[in-house]
């Protein structure tokens, strides 16, 4: 059960109160009616699904109701940063980044534990 | 040695911590025994000399008690209070005896001593590892008929109770600064140290009393006090502190993300007559800032031939039974060890009057201190020796001893054998927290290395053996200042992993590694020979460590044997991942309060009770209970629904529409926002008017629909489908907050603010007229698709003139608490005029007769507004709305897409099945080319025939065409029509 | 002909609790869901006669009205009388959204030394006085129901819940109350 810092409530709350809302910083094109099929596919269908540091949206749906952005390490599940919706992509502080890297090394990944079995 | 009272002839006077006068009666396999309060089932049975406890899983071999704690793989029993309160697979070493307990052995028939399944043992050459995978492969047909039923009958230990669990279970969330798992010397010291800092501390231990290893280790002295007494005094001190919670009989079973831990507290399992209010178990969901792991270590058994006979147990277990429970495990006990700790067990037993047949030590040089003590006590020590076999049918009666590398064997008579291969740090929780382990080569053990969370390991689970060092480590971990001294008599050395003498690759003996799953050293070698080179494969092939004890004793041995076979060092072979739960957790605890009425909220409308009184049958729509139909005396569902349909069309019907989602959209930019969220245009809608709206997602497919009423320039009353309400609001909020935050508009869910009474039918106006004040209901003043704020029965109401039946229709919205009262009055009048109550089934039919779609039934997430025949609802003038681009995608505008059309069966009595596939030529070869499927199909009493709606490729260009719906036993011919079956001109709605 | 409609309350006649927790349905109240941008908070506060709190998880009480911070532009305003909250808000002259939710919500009063433990049977928030002092409020989950929790005294809470979830919430509170008394 993750613990998530809501940038509006300014408090850590249980994952129970939140809902994940997909990759962050994908702006809906202003001229959406005019974009090409490729641009539409890029905007609507294609996601990076990155391993490691990813920026994603969450909604504090059973709390303040706000959508916000989070930088999370998908390997360790650590939240490195959360910030309000509408702000540009925030850099992850260096200290957090180091901690994340150390953690990544310490965390058992599927590849490490089961990958060999495959 | 002298026997005490009737609590068992193996009780040792003066030994143990139980009070002889406090007894409890229990039965084991029907025979009655007396125990002492505080006994586990294991100690109570051992006190009576009972060692044969059960039969093993695969070979049905006689088995006894191997440990004295939660790691027990062998002694699994069925414990019951009464018929419903019965629990299989209970560890005899954990379950405390309570007065009246009925305990039974498992996995045997007809009796524990004479078990037919033991035949498996004789057939064991056929049951080697991988047997199931290889044997039941073919013939294929035999799987369902023969193999699976047989395997299912033979599989599993114990029998699950068939009755509902009459107990209740509680759950509680708890927050703290420091959670300490384990209350042995290390945990208690860490807790003391942390407690003085004033932080909020939770100390957890799985045993009834704190103390951990001090339960058996009688020689340790802390702060000048006997260790166990110090532990109890310390716990009392901690309990008295306001910032400390001490939970005993509580297991930390899972260490999850971000300081979240799952605990199970056993509240009543040890109580003879539990209070009705007490839960059987309590689930604690803890969020802590820091975890101190003080989980200790678990002793390993020795792997040698026939090492599983009853009477063979871990040395520390024998010490627990003696020093804590006051029970001798035999009169003449043998010792087989690779570690000094077993010597201390032998010393304790010897001092209590038990003879020690011999200490057999695989090592040439055991610790000098223990050797000296053994000499003093007159105990024979055979160094450089091994136990290579045992005998005794239902209990060990001798051990066969050989000098290492020598063929000379001799039998030594024993009635019990204690074993120790050393100690395995309990790193389960650390590993669950995603910490990374390292291999301690010198001591052949895995210890915590890199932490993934804010945690620290102290004591034996950290590989810290020295008591003084352990205390320092624990004080440091707690973060406080503390002076504490500790002494123990011996420093322990030694330990081994893997198979012992006589159980090596060249010996075809049964040397058990995993007792619960009957995995032998031979099985693990076989797995390697068969090509399993990853520990994960070896585990699955042999099922080593996959039983409910999760290999607490077996994993390291299994790993060592595999490592030897593979010729690769242990850390390269790797350890399988520890996963929660640490020990089995009952479903009852995980479910906790979520049972019966509390399983899921049952949402009821304000009129629910009145509908119930009218005999309504209800259906679940999401969490809502909706009136489905209202059968009268003697009516079945079809008769009731036919009557309701006919009555609504002929007279009128009253329907509870309260569950429809309602969203209040308020603000100066409300119309602009709705323009962006719906395909329709909203700025042209005048206050006092309604419009049917369709919402698409960005991909252009229909997401939801509903009527939207404009109450004022800046206020809309939006309705959604019943099931769609929460996700539509979420979808709208998403766009509002993140894509269109510049718009001045806000959304509020008002679903439950309003009770909605729909009155539909030719007499609808006449029915509601007397109740409505402040609104002229005439067609001119209040035509179809109007909305007004008015007064109904003296309360402020929102009145909609809308129809989902094709008849004249009104939806009266009154504040929810007035719903029942208004419903009652309206229904009373309606009933007098010959109208009926109708439910969702009739609603579905009446709307289908008019070709109104239901999102999620007639659409499935791949249907555009145009596919559904609602192209008119997509504004051509707007430059933007969610879905505008998606709708232009090539596949969404191509010819031949599936479109919603009506279907009429050639035989009017034939009602199609929803989901039925549609083809052009029923005689084409299979697989047939399918054009689409039936989405809605009903008997229309009004038309006296069946009707259906279907998604058909190129549907609208097939009007009048005959298509076919192949069914299992026949093919049904249908004609394609438009979707409006009743009142095609639409005059009735305006009547 | 039209008689006047009478009011039937959810939870009417329900009772529960334990030796350490008292559970009772709250009296009917007037409520609005209020949405207003930061720049107009002062105006609405004036119109309503209660200062809308702007710090997360806080509430304010004045003139018989309680304003609960639910989100950065969202408040639940409760008046235990039959006052015209909607009219007062409408008369403010500022841009806002007020929706009458008097009947959408109902409330359960939880009090006694075991109150926090009873709520923690289904609520994952830290209800210690340090983390959730008197006056603190939050929208959160209670089991499978969304609630708005307000601490009215050291050992008293008000649980606001949508009416169709109120039986469930009361039932779960009763379970929590029973366990909190042990």
Q: Do C141 and A62 touch (CB under 8 A)?
A: yes
Task: Name the token pair of B506.
Answer: 């060249």
* Burial category of B778 from C-beta neighbours within 10 Å (exposed 0-12, middle 13-18, buried 19 and up): exposed
Instruction: Choose one of B101, B131, B166: the last residue of a domain.
Output: B166
Task: Name the token pair of B779.
Answer: 């067609």
Residue B733, chain A, CB below 8 Å: the answer is yes
Confidence check: pLDDT of B155 > 70: no
Closest CA to B803 of B747, B760, B845, B839: B760
List of residues 6+ apart from A38 with CB closer than 8 A:
none
Q: Is residue C136 part of a domain?
A: yes
CATH number where B471 lies: 3.50.50.60
Residue B434, chain A, CB below 8 Å: the answer is yes
Mutate to test the interface with A, among C34, C55, C56, C147 (most CBs of A within 10 A): C56
B406-415, B615-624, B627-636, B649-658: least confidently modelled range:
B406-415
Chain C nearest C-alpha distance from B693 (Å):
22
Residue A3, chain C, CB below 8 Å: the answer is no
Q: What is the mean pLDDT of chain C?
A: 96
**Structural domain count, chain B:** 4
Range of the domain at C171: 18-180
Q: Do C124 and A10 touch (CB under 8 A)?
A: no
Task: Name the token pair of B463.
Answer: 């590989």
The string of DSSP letters for B224-259 reads TEEHHHHHHHHHHHHHTSTTEEEE-SEEEEEE-GGG
Residue A9, chain C, CB below 8 Å: the answer is yes
Task: Name the token pair of A51.
Answer: 């391993």
Range of the domain at B474: 170-297+425-487
Sheet holding A19-23, edge to edge: A19-23, A53-59, A67-73, A78-84
Chain A nearest C-alpha distance from C69 (Å):
9
Instruction: Give the CA diameter of chain A.
Output: 50
CATH number where C89 lies: 3.30.1360.120
Q: Do A8 and C56 touch (CB under 8 A)?
A: yes
Phi, psi of A34 (to 5 degrees): -100, -5
pLDDT of residue B3: 40
Q: Are the beta carbons of B75 and B322 closer than 8 angstroms?
A: no
Percent of chain B whose pLDDT exceeds 70: 96
Residue B642, chain A, CB below 8 Å: the answer is no
Phi, psi of C143 (to 5 degrees): 60, -120
Tokens 């809608």, residue?
Answer: B685
Q: Do C28 and B817 touch (CB under 8 A)?
A: yes
pLDDT of residue B352: 97
**In the structure, what pLDDT confidence band is assigned to residue A99 with cuts at 50, 70 and 90?**
low
Chain A nearest C-alpha distance from C121 (Å):
14
The DSSP element (H or E) to which B469 belongs, if any, is helix B467-478
Q: Are the beta carbons of C131 and A6 closer than 8 angstroms?
A: no
pLDDT of residue A118: 37
**In the structure, what pLDDT confidence band is assigned to residue B2 with cuts at 50, 70 and 90?**
very low
Phi, psi of C151 (to 5 degrees): -90, 115
pLDDT of residue B148: 66
What pLDDT, in 10s, does the model give residues B28-48? 999 999 999 999 999 999 999
Q: Do B750 and C99 touch (CB under 8 A)?
A: yes
Mean pLDDT value of segment B477-487: 93
Are B906 and B972 found together in one domain?
A: yes
Chain B nearest C-alpha distance from C12 (Å):
11
pLDDT of residue C2: 59
Q: Which residues of B touch A23 (CB under 8 A)?
A: none
Q: Is residue C10 part of a domain?
A: no
* Burial category of B591 from C-beta neighbours within 10 Å (exposed 0-12, middle 13-18, buried 19 and up): middle
Residue C165, chain B, CB below 8 Å: the answer is yes
Counting one residue from chain A and one from chain C, the pairs whose CB atoms sit within 8 A come to 39
Residue A62, chain C, CB below 8 Å: the answer is yes
Q: Do B753 and C100 touch (CB under 8 A)?
A: yes
Q: Do B600 and C144 touch (CB under 8 A)?
A: yes
**In the structure, what pLDDT confidence band is assigned to residue C53 with cuts at 50, 70 and 90?**
very high
Are B341 and B477 found together in one domain?
A: no
Are B338 and B460 found together in one domain?
A: no
Helix, strand, coil shares of chain B, percent, nearest 5, are 25, 30, 45
pLDDT of residue B621: 95
Counting one residue from chain A and one from chain B, the pairs whose CB atoms sit within 8 A come to 86
Distance of CA B847 to the CA centre of its chain: 41
| CA distance linking residue B302 with residue B320, whole number of Å | 19
- Helical segments of B4-80, H only: 41-47
Q: Which residues of A touch B889 (CB under 8 A)?
A: 37, 40
**Structural domain count, chain C:** 1
Tokens 């329709």, residue?
Answer: B680
Chain B nearest C-alpha distance from A108 (Å):
6
CATH number of A3-26+41-108: 3.30.2270.10
Q: Which residue has the higher pLDDT, C166 or B134?
A: C166
End-to-end CA distance of chain A: 28
Q: Are the beta carbons of B343 and B333 closer than 8 angstroms?
A: no
| CA distance linking residue C26 with residue B572, whole number of Å | 65
Q: Is B846 helix (H, G, I), strand (E, B) or coil?
A: helix
List of residues 6+ apart from C145 with CB closer than 8 A:
B601, C161, C162, C165, C168, C169, C172
Mean pLDDT value of segment B796-825: 98
| CA distance linking residue B335 with residue B356, whole number of Å | 8
Task: Name the token pair of C21.
Answer: 């927790």
Q: Are the beta carbons of B315 and B345 closer than 8 angstroms?
A: yes
Kindly give the interhelix angle for B341-351 and B315-323, rounded to the nearest 10 degrees. 30
pLDDT of residue B108: 78
Are B402 and B535 found together in one domain?
A: yes
| CA distance linking residue B64 with residue B43, whole number of Å | 12
* Burial category of B586 from C-beta neighbours within 10 Å (exposed 0-12, middle 13-18, buried 19 and up): middle
Confidence check: pLDDT of B753 > 90: yes
Check: complex ipTM more than 0.95: yes
The DSSP element (H or E) to which B55 belongs, if any, is strand B54-55
Confidence check: pLDDT of B55 > 70: yes
What pLDDT, in 10s, does the model give residues B428-437? 999 999 999 9
Q: Which residue of C has its CA nearest to B281?
A: C179
Q: Is residue C3 part of a domain?
A: no
Q: Are the beta carbons of C75 and B729 closer than 8 angstroms?
A: no
Q: Which residues of B touch A44 (CB under 8 A)?
A: 698-699, 886
| CA distance linking residue C146 with residue C143, whole number of Å | 8
| CA distance linking residue B106 with residue B84, whole number of Å | 17
Mutate to test the interface with C, among A6, A9, A86 (most CBs of C within 10 A): A9
Confidence check: pLDDT of B4 > 50: no
Mutate to test the interface with C, among A12, A13, A19, A62 (most CBs of C within 10 A): A62
Residue B577, chain A, CB below 8 Å: the answer is yes
Q: Are the beta carbons of B50 and B42 closer than 8 angstroms?
A: no
**In A, residues 89-118, which contact C (CB 8 Å cutoff)?**
none
Q: Do B793 and C3 touch (CB under 8 A)?
A: yes
Residue A37, chain B, CB below 8 Å: the answer is yes
| CA distance linking residue B551 with residue B555, whole number of Å | 5
Chain C nearest C-alpha distance from A60 (Å):
9
Q: Do C139 and A14 touch (CB under 8 A)?
A: no
What pLDDT, in 10s, does the model give residues C62-81? 999 999 999 999 999 999 88
* Burial category of B876 from C-beta neighbours within 10 Å (exposed 0-12, middle 13-18, buried 19 and up): exposed
| CA distance linking residue B851 with residue B638, whole number of Å | 21
**In A, residues 46-105, which contact B (CB 8 Å cutoff)?**
57, 59, 61, 65-67, 76-77, 85-86, 102-103, 105
What pLDDT, in 10s, does the model give residues B226-283? 999 999 999 999 999 999 999 999 999 999 999 999 999 999 999 999 999 999 999 9
Q: Are the beta carbons of C167 and C110 closer than 8 angstroms?
A: no
Confidence check: pLDDT of A2 > 50: yes
pLDDT of residue B125: 66
Confidence check: pLDDT of A94 > 80: no
Q: Do B815 and C100 touch (CB under 8 A)?
A: yes
DSSP assignment letter at B576: P
How many CB atoms are located within 10 Å of the residue B300 CB? 27
Chain A nearest C-alpha distance from B889 (Å):
7
Chain C nearest C-alpha distance from A56 (Å):
21
- Counted residue by residue, chain A has a size of 118
CATH number where B5 lies: 3.10.20.440
Q: Do A16 and C141 touch (CB under 8 A)?
A: yes
Residue B258, chain A, CB below 8 Å: the answer is yes
List of residues 6+ apart from B242 with CB closer than 8 A:
none
List of residues 6+ apart from B485 with CB closer than 8 A:
B222, B223, B224, B468, B471
A12-21, B156-165, C58-67: least confidently modelled range:
B156-165
Q: Is C146 helix (H, G, I), strand (E, B) or coil?
A: strand
pLDDT of residue B59: 87
| CA distance linking residue B308 with residue B320, whole number of Å | 20
Instruction: Choose one of B517, B539, B573: the last residue of a domain.
Output: B573
Instruction: Choose one of B433, B457, B487: the last residue of a domain.
Output: B487
Closest CA to B793 of B810, B770, B775: B770
DSSP assignment letter at C94: S
List of residues 6+ apart from A110 with CB closer than 8 A:
none
Which residues is B291 bridged to in the sheet? B179, B455
pLDDT of residue B508: 87
Confidence check: pLDDT of A110 > 60: no
What pLDDT, in 10s, does the model give residues B957-973? 999 999 999 999 999 99
End-to-end CA distance of chain B: 102
Q: Which residues of A touch C71 (CB under 8 A)?
A: 8, 63-66
Q: Is residue B399 part of a domain?
A: yes
| CA distance linking residue B820 with residue B834, whole number of Å | 21
| CA distance linking residue C25 with residue C133, whole number of Å | 22
Confidence check: pLDDT of B494 > 80: yes
Chain C partners (3+ C-beta pairs within 8 A): A, B
Chain A partners (3+ C-beta pairs within 8 A): B, C
| CA distance linking residue C49 with residue C55, whole number of Å | 18
| CA distance linking residue A76 with residue B241, whole number of Å | 36
Q: Do B733 and A19 touch (CB under 8 A)?
A: no
Task: Name the token pair of B767.
Answer: 């029915």
Residue A20, chain B, CB below 8 Å: the answer is no
Q: Is residue B579 part of a domain?
A: no
| CA distance linking residue B229 with residue B211, whole number of Å | 9
Residue C38, chain B, CB below 8 Å: the answer is no
Q: What residues does each domain of chain A span?
A: 3-26+41-108
Chain B nearest C-alpha distance from C129 (Å):
12
Are B219 and B114 found together in one domain?
A: no
What pLDDT, in 10s, does the model give residues B112-146? 887 777 777 777 766 667 666 666 666 667 666 76
End-to-end CA distance of chain C: 56
Q: Are the beta carbons of A67 and A82 closer than 8 angstroms?
A: no
Task: Name the token pair of C58.
Answer: 């806080």
Chain A nearest C-alpha distance from C4 (Å):
37
Phi, psi of B253 (to 5 degrees): -95, -15
The DSSP element (H or E) to which B729 belongs, if any, is helix B725-734
Mutate to test the interface with B, among A7, A16, A27, A33 (most CBs of B within 10 A): A33
Give a three-class secondary structure readout of chain A. Answer: CCEEEECCCCEEEEHHHCEEEEECCCCCCCCHHHCCHHHHHHHHHCCCCCCCEEEEEEECCCCCCCEEEEEEECCCCEEEEEEECCCCCCCCCHHHHHHHHHHHHHCCCHHHHHHCCC
Which pairs from B235-239 meet CB under 8 Å and 24+ separation?
B235/B183, B235/B188, B235/B203, B235/B209, B235/B210, B237/B192, B238/B188, B238/B191, B238/B192, B238/B195, B238/B201, B238/B203
Mean pLDDT value of segment C82-101: 94
Tokens 């269109």, residue?
Answer: B740
Q: Is residue C5 part of a domain?
A: no
Chain A nearest C-alpha distance from B734 (Å):
7
């Amino acid at each position: 059960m993750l613990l998530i810092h809501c940038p509006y409530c300014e408090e850590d709350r249980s994952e129970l109160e939140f809902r994940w809302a997909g990759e962050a910083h994908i702006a809906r094109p202003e001229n959406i009616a005019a974009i090409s099929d490729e641009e539409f596919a890029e905007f609507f269908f294609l996601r990076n699904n990155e391993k490691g540091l990813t920026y994603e949206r969450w909604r504090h749906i059973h709390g303040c109701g706000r959508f916000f952005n989070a930088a999370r390490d998908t390997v360790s599940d650590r939240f490195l940063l959360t910030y309000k919706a509408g702000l540009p992509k925030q850099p992850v502080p260096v200290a957090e980044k180091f901690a994340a890297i150390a953690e990544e090394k310490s965390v058992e990944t599927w590849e490490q534990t089961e990958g060999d079995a495959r | 040695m002298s026997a005490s009272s009737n609590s068992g002839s193996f009780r040792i006077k003066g030994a143990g911590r139980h009070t002889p006068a406090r007894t409890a009666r229990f039965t084991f396999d029907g025979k009655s025994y007396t125990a002492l309060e505080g006994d586990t089932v294991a100690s109570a049975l051992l006190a009576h000399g009972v060692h044969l406890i059960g039969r093993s899983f695969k070979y049905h071999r006689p088995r006894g008690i191997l440990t004295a704690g939660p790691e027990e793989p062998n002694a699994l029993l069925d414990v019951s209070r009464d018929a419903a309160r019965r629990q299989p697979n209970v560890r005899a070493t954990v379950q405390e005896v309570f007065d009246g307990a009925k305990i039974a052995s498992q996995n045997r028939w007809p009796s524990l001593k004479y078990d037919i399944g033991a035949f498996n043992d004789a057939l064991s050459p056929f049951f080697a590892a991988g047997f199931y995978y290889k044997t039941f492969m073919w013939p294929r047909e035999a799987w369902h008929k023969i193999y699976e039923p047989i395997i299912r009958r033979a599989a599993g230990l114990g029998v699950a109770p068939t009755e509902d669990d009459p107990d209740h279970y509680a759950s509680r969330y708890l927050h703290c600064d420091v959670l300490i798992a384990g209350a042995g010397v290390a945990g208690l010291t860490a807790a003391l140290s942390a407690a003085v800092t004033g932080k909020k501390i939770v100390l957890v231990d799985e045993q009834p009393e704190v103390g951990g290893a001090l339960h058996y280790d009688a020689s340790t002295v802390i702060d000048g006090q006997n260790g166990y007494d110090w532990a109890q005094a310390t716990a009392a001190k901690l309990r008295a502190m306001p910032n400390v919670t001490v939970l005993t009989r509580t297991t930390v079973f899972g260490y999850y993300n971000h300081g979240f831990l799952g605990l199970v507290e056993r509240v009543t399992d040890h109580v003879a007559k539990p209070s009705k209010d007490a839960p059987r178990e309590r689930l604690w969901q803890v969020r802590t800032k820091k975890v101190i792991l003080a989980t200790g270590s678990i002793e390993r058994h020795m792997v040698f031939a026939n090492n599983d006979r009853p009477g063979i147990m871990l040395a520390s277990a024998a010490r627990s039974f003696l020093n804590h429970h006051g029970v001798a495990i035999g009169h003449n006990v043998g010792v087989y060890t690779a570690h000094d700790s077993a010597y201390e067990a032998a010393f304790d037993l010897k001092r209590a009057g038990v003879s020690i047949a011999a200490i057999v030590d695989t090592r040439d040089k055991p610790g000098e201190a223990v050797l000296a003590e053994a000499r003093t006590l007159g105990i024979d020590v055979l160094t450089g020796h091994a136990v290579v076999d045992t005998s005794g049918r239902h209990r060990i009666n001798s051990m066969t001893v050989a000098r290492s590398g020598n063929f000379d064997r001799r039998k030594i008579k024993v009635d019990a054998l204690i074993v120790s291969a050393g100690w395995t740090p309990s790193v389960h929780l650390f590993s669950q927290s995603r910490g990374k382990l390292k291999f301690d080569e010198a001591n052949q053990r895995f210890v915590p290395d890199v932490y993934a969370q804010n945690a620290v390991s102290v004591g034996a689970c950290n590989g810290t053996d020295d008591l003084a060092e352990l205390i320092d480590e624990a004080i440091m971990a707690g973060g406080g200042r503390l002076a504490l001294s500790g002494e123990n008599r011996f420093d322990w050395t030694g330990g081994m992993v893997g198979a012992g003498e006589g159980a090596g690759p060249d010996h075809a003996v049964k040397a058990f590694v995993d007792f619960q799953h009957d995995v032998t050293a031979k099985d693990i070698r076989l797995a390697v020979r068969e090509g399993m080179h990853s520990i994960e494969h070896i585990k699955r092939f042999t099922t080593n460590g996959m039983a409910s004890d999760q290999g607490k004793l077996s994993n390291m041995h299994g790993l060592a044997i595999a490592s030897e076979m593979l010729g690769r060092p242990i850390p390269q072979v790797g350890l399988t991942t520890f996963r929660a739960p640490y020990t089995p957790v009952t479903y009852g605890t995980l479910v906790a309060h979520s049972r019966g009425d509390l399983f899921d909220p049952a949402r009821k409308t304000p009129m629910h009770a009145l509908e119930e009184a009218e005999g309504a049958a209800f259906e679940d729509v999401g969490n809502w209970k909706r009136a489905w139909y209202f059968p009268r005396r003697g009516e079945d569902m079809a008769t009731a629904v036919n009557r309701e349909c006919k009555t609504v069309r002929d007279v009128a019907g009253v329907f509870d529409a309260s569950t429809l989602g309602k969203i209040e959209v308020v603000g100066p930019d409300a119309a602009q926002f709705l323009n962006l969220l719906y395909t329709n245009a909203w700025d042209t809608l005048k206050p006092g008017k309604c419009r049917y709206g369709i919402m698409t997602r960005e991909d252009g497919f229909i997401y939801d629909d509903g009527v939207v009423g404009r109450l004022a320039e800046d206020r809309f009353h939006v309705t959604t489908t019943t099931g769609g309400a929460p996700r539509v609001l979420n979808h709208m909020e998403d766009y509002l907050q993140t894509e269109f935050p510049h718009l001045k508009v806000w959304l509020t869910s008002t679903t439950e603010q309003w009770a909605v009474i729909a009155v539909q039918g030719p007499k609808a106006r006449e029915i509601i007229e007397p109740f409505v004040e402040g609104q002229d209901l005439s067609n001119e003043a209040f035509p179809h698709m109007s909305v007004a704020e008015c007064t109904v029965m003296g309360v402020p109401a929102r009145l909609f003139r809308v129809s989902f039946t094709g008849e004249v229709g009104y939806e009266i919205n009154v504040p929810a608490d007035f719903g029942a009262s208004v419903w009652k009055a309206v229904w009373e009048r309606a009933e007098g005029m010959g109208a009926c109550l109708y439910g969702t089934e009739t609603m579905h039919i009446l709307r289908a007769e008019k070709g109104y779609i239901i999102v999620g039934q007639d659409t499935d997430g791949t249907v555009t507004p145009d596919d559904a025949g609602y192209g008119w609802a997509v504004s051509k003038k707007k430059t933007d709305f969610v879905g505008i681009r998606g709708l232009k995608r090539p596949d969404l505008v191509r010819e031949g897409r599936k479109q919603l059309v009506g279907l009429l069966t050639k035989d009017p009595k034939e009602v199609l099945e929803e989901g039925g596939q549609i083809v052009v030529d029923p005689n084409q070869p299979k697989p047939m080319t399918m054009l689409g499927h039936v989405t809605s199909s009903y008997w229309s009493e009004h038309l006296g025939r069946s009707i259906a709606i279907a998604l058909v490729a190129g549907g609208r260009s097939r009007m009048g065409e005959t298509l076919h719906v192949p069914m299992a036993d026949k093919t049904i011919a249908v004609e394609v029509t438009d979707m409006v079956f009743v009142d095609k001109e639409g005059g009735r709605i305006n009547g | 002909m039209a008689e006047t409609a009478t009011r039937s309350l959810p939870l009417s006649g329900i009772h529960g609790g334990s030796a350490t927790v008292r559970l009772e349905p709250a009296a009917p109240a007037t409520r609005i869901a209020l949405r207003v941008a930061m720049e107009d908070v002062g105006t609405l506060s004036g119109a309503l006669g209660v200062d809308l709190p702007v710090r997360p998880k806080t509430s304010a009480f004045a003139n018989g009205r309680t304003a609960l911070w639910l989100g950065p532009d969202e408040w639940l305003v409760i008046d235990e009388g039959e006052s015209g909250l909607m009219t007062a808000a409408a008369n403010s002259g500022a841009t806002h959204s007020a929706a009458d939710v008097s009947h959408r919500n109902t409330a359960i009063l939880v009090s006694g030394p075991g109150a926090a433990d009873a709520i923690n049977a289904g609520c994952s928030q830290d209800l210690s006085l340090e983390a959730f002092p008197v006056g603190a409020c939050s929208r959160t989950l209670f089991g499978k129901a969304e609630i708005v929790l307000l601490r009215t005294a050291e050992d008293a809470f008000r649980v606001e819940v949508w009416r169709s979830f109120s039986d469930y919430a009361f039932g779960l509170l009763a379970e929590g109350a029973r366990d909190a008394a042990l």
